[in-house]
A and B are shown apart, each in its own frame.
Chain A
C-alpha cells in the first residue's frame, strides 16, 4: 500500500502546492487524483516517485519510507505514463519499451523479447516494433507509453494525464484497454486527471483535491456521485451527476418484453399476433436478429417490410452488461420512447419502456447502500462494485 502521511509541499516562494495531504492508496486498484488546475494532484503524483521532494510528511510503500532507497532504484520500480507519451523519438518502439529492463541490466535480447510481449498485451501490432515514434498515431504512441511503463512488471504504475491529448474516441478505447489490462495484471495505479468523467470511469477510489492542495473527498466513484462531501465536490462533479450515477446500476434487472418483435419477412398473421395493446409499435429485426427500426403495426407490409420507412431505434443497449444509464439513454433517444435491448451478439433481446426503466432506477436507489452511509473511512477495493461499469 502507498501511504501518504500528512504531506505538505511548500515552494521557496511560499506557494503551498499540497497541504497536509493524507491518503491510503489501496493495492491492486486504480486510485484517481482529480481536481482543478492548481489543486496539487500533479505535485502529489510526482512526490510518490520523488521527482518532487515533500517539505513535510512521509510517503511510504508497504511500510517503507520512499527516502530509504536510492532515488533511481525507487523510480525503476514504478512504471510512469505521461501525457503525450514522452517517448524517446530517437529509439524504435521496441527499444522504447525495453528502456527500463535495459536500465535494470537485462540483456538486449531478453529486454526486446519482453517488449514484444508487451506490445501484444497493449494491442499494438508486431509490425510496429521497428518503427520510430513519429510513424505512430497519438493513440498508438500512448499505448507504447503504457507498454514501456509495464516493461519491468513494476507493482506500481503512476499515470499522469495519459489520455488527455488524444481525441475522445481514441481516449475511450485507451480507457477500456487500461481497465482490461488492469483486470489481467492488478497493478497499484495512481492516475492523475482533470477530467471527472475519466475519474469516475476508471477509479476504484477517487480523491478529489481542491485548489491549495487540500483533500476534498476520498471515496469510490459511486459514493462520490451519491453523496458529495460539500458544495465544491458537487460543483466539480457537474450538473448531471444523477444521470451519471446510473452507470453504476446494472440493466440486468430490467424486464424485457419480447412480444412486439417481428422479423422483416413476417407474415400478416404474425404482425397481427405480435401487435399488443401495451406497445403501440413493433420492433422490426433483420433475418440475423439485429434490430432495424420501429414501425406502427398498420404500416407494415406483410412478407417484405420496407426498411427505409422504419423509425430509427437508436443505439441499443446490451442487456445485463450495460448500465441503466445506457438503457435510459437509449429510451430517451428513441422516437417511440422505448429502448431496445440486444444480446452480446447484437441480436434483439427485448424492448423496455421509459416508465419501466424509471421503475428500475427507483428500485435501485432504494436498495443501494454503497453511498448513502456517507462513510469516508478506509477504502475497501474489494467491496467497490466495478462490474456495473
Chain B
C-alpha cells in the first residue's frame, strides 16, 4: 500500500501530473464535441429531415472501436495526445447532438411564438431564448459525455503511453503491481464524480429559473399568494 502512489518512471509523470494529463485528454474532446454539436444540432432543428441521418452517422461513428481510429490516424497525427482526443471528440457527438436537439425542441411553442411576435429575429431568438432554455438538457448531455470520456482516455495506452492514468493499468501487468491498477481505477472514478458534481453546480448557477431545490420553496410561496388573491 505504501507503493500506491509510487509511479513507475517509464510514465515520466508524477501521480498529480498524470491527473492533469488525464483531465486534459478527457475534457478537451468534450469541449470540442460541444463546439461541433451546437451548429450540427441547430441544423437538425431547422431541417427536420436531417436529424435521423445525423443520429445514424453519430451512432455508427460511436460503434467504431478507438483502436481502428488509431490505426488510421497514427499516419497523420502520430503517437500523440491528439490521436487519442480525435476519436473521443467524435464519440461525444452521439450524446451531445440529441441532447441539444431535444433541449432546443423542448422550448414551449407559445414561448417561441411570443418571441417571434415581439420582433426577435432568428439569430437573436436562438441565442437569447432557445439556447438558455436548452441549458438543462445540454448539461445533462455534457455530464454523460464527460464521464464516459474520462473512462475512455485509458485506451490511449495502446499507442505508447498516451492513456494518462490508463497507463497505470498497463504498468500494473508488466511490473506485477496490482496496486497501480487500483490507483488508476479509483482515481478515474473520483475524477468522474468530481467532474459530474461540477457540471451539476454549473447547471444550478445557470438556471435559477428552474423549479427545483431551494427554488421549490419559492414556488410554494407563489402558490399560496395566488390562492390568497
Contacts and interface: CB of A to CB of B under 8 A. Distances in A.
A140 B226 contact: yes
A29 B93 CA distance: 54
A51 interface: yes
A34 B68 CA distance: 65
Given A86-B108, A89-B133, A103 B119 contact: yes
Contacts of A86: 108, 110-111, 113-114
Contact of B119 (A72, A85, A88, A131): A72
B222 interface: yes
Q: Describe B's contact surface by its main secondary structure.
A: helix
B78 interface: no
Interface stretch (B48-56, B165-173, B203-211): B203-211
Given A82-B110, A90-B207, A132-B208, A137 B226 contact: yes
Interface in B103-162: 108, 110-111, 113-121, 129, 132-133, 135
A108 to B, nearest CB: 14
A350 to B, nearest CB: 33
Interface string B196-229: 0000000000011111000100110111011101
Contacts of A99: 118
Contacts of A87: 111, 114
Of B119, B208, B209, most A-chain CB atoms within 10 Å: B119
A106 to B, nearest CB: 14
Interface stretch (A73-81, A195-203, A279-287): A73-81
B117 A158 contact: yes
Interface residues of B, number: 31
Nearest to B224: A137
Given A88-B129, A89-B209, A103 B226 contact: no
Contact of A134 (B120, B209, B229): B209
Contacts of B218: 131-132, 135
Nearest to B134: A90
A316 to B, nearest CB: 24
A140 B209 CA distance: 16
Contacts of B119: 71-76, 100, 103
A228 interface: no
Given A51-B113, A86-B108, A137-B222, A80 B118 contact: yes
A193 to B, nearest CB: 16
Nearest to A71: B119
Contacts of B118: 75-76, 80, 99-100, 103, 148
A91 B207 CA distance: 10
B226 A136 contact: yes
Contacts of B219: 134-135
A78 B116 CA distance: 12
Contacts of A92: 209
Nearest to B226: A137
A91 to B, nearest CB: 7
A134 B213 CA distance: 13
Contacts of A84: 108, 110
Of B108, B115, B226, most A-chain CB atoms within 10 Å: B226
A35 interface: no
B209 to A, nearest CB: 4
B211 A134 contact: yes
B117 A88 contact: no
Interface string A47-59: 0010100000000
A99 B120 CA distance: 10
A103 B229 CA distance: 33
Contacts of B111: 86-89
Interface in A115-158: 125, 131-140, 145, 148, 158
Given A86-B110, A135-B219, A140-B226, A80 B120 contact: no
A80 B114 contact: yes
A278 B130 CA distance: 71
A328 to B, nearest CB: 30
A83 interface: yes
Of A72, A92, A145, most B-chain CB atoms within 10 Å: A72
Contacts of B208: 132
Contact of A90 (B114, B117, B132, B225): B132
Contacts of B117: 49, 51, 75, 78, 80, 82, 158
A171 B215 CA distance: 27
A368 B113 CA distance: 43
19 contacts: A71-B119, A74-B119, A75-B118, A80-B117, A85-B110, A85-B114, A87-B111, A90-B207, A100-B119, A103-B119, A133-B209, A134-B210, A135-B219, A136-B226, A137-B223, A137-B225, A137-B227, A138-B226, A173-B229
Pick the 7 closest A-B CB pairs, nearest first: A137-B226, A86-B114, A86-B110, A80-B117, A135-B222, A75-B119, A76-B119
Interface of B: 108, 110-111, 113-121, 129, 132-133, 135, 207-211, 215, 218-219, 221-223, 225-227, 229
Given A84-B108, A89-B133, A103-B118, 20 more contacts: A49-B117, A76-B119, A78-B117, A80-B118, A86-B111, A86-B113, A86-B114, A87-B114, A90-B129, A91-B209, A99-B118, A132-B218, A134-B222, A135-B211, A135-B218, A135-B221, A136-B226, A137-B223, A139-B229, A140-B222
